[in-house]
Amino acid sequence: MAGDEVVTLASPFGRIGLSICYDLRFPELYRKMENVDIILAPAAFTAVTGKAHWEVLLRARAIENLAYVIAPAQGGYHVSGRETNGDSMIVDPWGVVIKRLPRGAGAVVAKLDPEYQARIRKSLPALTHRKLSYT
């Protein structure tokens, strides 16, 4: 069921935007997450759409928002017969996948570097140039 508000929160690691996998298809949601440093996007993408779209959508959201994207993802076969893609990732603000677990049990851990993020945001000031509405 779709939510009705954009959810962000302050944390010791920076401002975090909350979403789920299907939300990745709606970039306007992430545009409304103003000043986020990290985007969380837990997932259960199907195997078919995951193989085709998962990585590219994560990288796009990271680049558009110059934010880290942390995306834990279920992978495998479920009792219902559904297959999910897996491919947990952490993507940096430049769109580079810095850690990944393609499938299977485990954890994906990476150092997030706020100074690196600040340098990228300074050299590419797209966030300060964007307009949230056009008239």
The full set of domain ranges for the chain reads: 8-129
This prediction has a pTM of 0.93
pLDDT in tens, 14-32: 999 999 999 999 999 999 9
Q: Which fold does the domain 8-129 belong to in CATH?
A: Nitrilase/N-carbamoyl-D-aminoacid amidohydrolase (3.60.110)
pLDDT in tens, 46-94: 999 999 999 999 999 999 999 999 999 999 999 999 999 999 999 999 9
User: Quick one: pLDDT band at residue 133, thresholds 50, 70, 90?
Assistant: confident
- Note the maximum CA span of the chain: 50
The two tokens of residue 55 are: 């990585």
Which of these, 133, 120, 127, 72, lies nearest to 92 by C-alpha position? 120
pLDDT score, position 128: 86
